[in-house]
Amino acid sequence: EIFIRVNSLGIKLRSSDLALAQITSKWKGFMKQIEEFAAEFQEDEDYIIESGLSVRLLTIFATHQSRFKTIGKLSVKMLKSAWEKAKDSLRFAINFVKSNAEIDNLKHISSPFLLIPIAVFGNLKGEKLTFGEEKMLLRWFFFAHMRGHYSMGSSESILDADLSSLFKNKNLTDLTNILQNHVKKFFVEVNDLQGKTRRSPMFSMLYFVLKHNEAKDWLSGLCLSAKHVGKSHSLQCHHIFPKSVLREADYEKREINEIANLAFIGGMTNRHI
């Protein structure tokens, strides 16, 4: 079923699609469970399905690693047990990121994999975090996002190293040490921002910081948010110094589009300018 649905559109199958096909071949009705679960997340329903997070977490709780190579060998009983953990843990992770980290759009994070260590740690702790653990998990999340932790090399290998540490040590200190050894530094210097555009995780990190500090659109007075209703107040960004002016002054394209020359504003303000 999944093979026909995907390939009828001429889209290349992802590893999570193939894993899903293997699961549904032995567990009838699993596809419907995936869809019903994703529907819980309302505006993030498509993100949950397209990211393959549900199947990835099922695999992780069944095998303690992230790759799908053994998923076809698991019994239905093992799959069902892992599925319950996957659902609960993903609910926890998304609630944590949206409420504690104040992320109003999951598409702003640099990788869906960022949700997985949060989900696994929440499960290992019985969803009972201390104040210190909550702060450490937030710290790990923001640094991992900002530095593109899962984009620096083989994402599955990096994730498996994180998972191995969590399942073995059940603490965030070791997880944070792995992150620091990988990305080398947490603090941001001027040269870290030079040449960075809106595609960089640094740009969305800037939005997270501004939002946390209750930055407002300079015309409407509304706080910045990706959840405003109506195009007039949709979150947009605008060049501070106009592109045409900078081109005439012989600035290069990469300089014109740097983060330093971009501001977050609402749709109405953007059109007003």
pLDDT grade, residue 5 (50/70/90)?
low
3-state DSSP call for residue 198? Answer: coil
Kind of pairing, strands 262-266 and 235-239?
antiparallel
CA angle at 150 for the pair 144 and 151, rounded to the nearest 5°: 115
* One domain for residues 66 and 148: yes
**pLDDT value for 217:** 87
* One domain for residues 110 and 159: yes
Comparison of pLDDT for 84 and 217, the residue scoring more: 84
Q: Which residues contact 143 (CB under 8 A, 6 or more apart)?
A: 149, 176, 179, 183, 186
- In whole angstroms, give the CA distance from residue 227 to residue 115: 20
Average pLDDT, integer, range 44-50: 93
Residue 191 lies inside a defined structural domain of this protein: no
Task: Tell me the per-residue pLDDT of 54-77, one tens digit each, with 9 for 90 and over.
Answer: 999 999 999 999 999 888 899 999
Task: Tell me the per-residue pLDDT of 148-207, one tens digit each, with 9 for 90 and over.
Answer: 999 998 999 999 999 999 999 999 999 999 999 999 999 999 999 999 999 999 999 999
Domain count, the chain: 2
* One domain for residues 133 and 259: no
Predicted TM-score (pTM) of the model is: 0.90
Alpha-carbon 239 to chain mean position: 26
Of 159, 183, 207, which one is at a domain's C-terminal end?
183
